[in-house]
């Protein structure tokens, strides 16, 4: 499946009806994030926050 998506030029996905209007909210957030990435200071802040969150998550994973 990964190769199919990797080589695709366009992918359409149907996830079912949006009875709770979640898609509108989700796509609004996606657009806001996309727009913020065009502002270097906001992109740097977002990247730093994501890195910190990943580090905190990894720290919680038990060592085997």
Which two structure tokens, joined as six digits, stand for 27? 């796509």
What is the predicted pLDDT for the residue at 38? 92
31 within a domain of the structure (yes/no): yes
pLDDT at 5: 84
The total number of structural domains that make up the chain: 1
Is residue 1 a part of any domain in this protein?
A: no
Domain carrying residue 53: 18-64
Which tens digits make up the pLDDT trace of 3-59? 888 888 888 888 899 999 899 999 999 999 899 889 999 999 989 998 888 888 888
Q: Which two tokens stand for residue 43?
A: 């992109």
Residue 46 CB-density burial (10 A; 0-12 exposed, 13-18 middle, 19+ buried): middle
Asked if the structure places residue 56 within a domain, the reply is: yes
**Residue 21 corresponds to which tokens in the numbers above?**
């209007």
Residue 63 domain-assigned?
A: yes
Triad 20, 50, 36: Cα angle to 5°: 70
Q: Rounded CA gap, 26 and 40, in Å? A: 23
């Amino acid at each position: 499946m990964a190769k199919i998506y990797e080589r695709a030029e366009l992918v359409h996905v149907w996830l079912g009806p949006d009875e709770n209007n979640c898609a509108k909210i989700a796509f609004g957030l996606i657009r806001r994030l996309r727009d913020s990435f065009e502002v270097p200071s906001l992109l740097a802040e977002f990247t730093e926050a994501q890195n910190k969150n990943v580090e905190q998550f990894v720290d919680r994973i038990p060592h085997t």
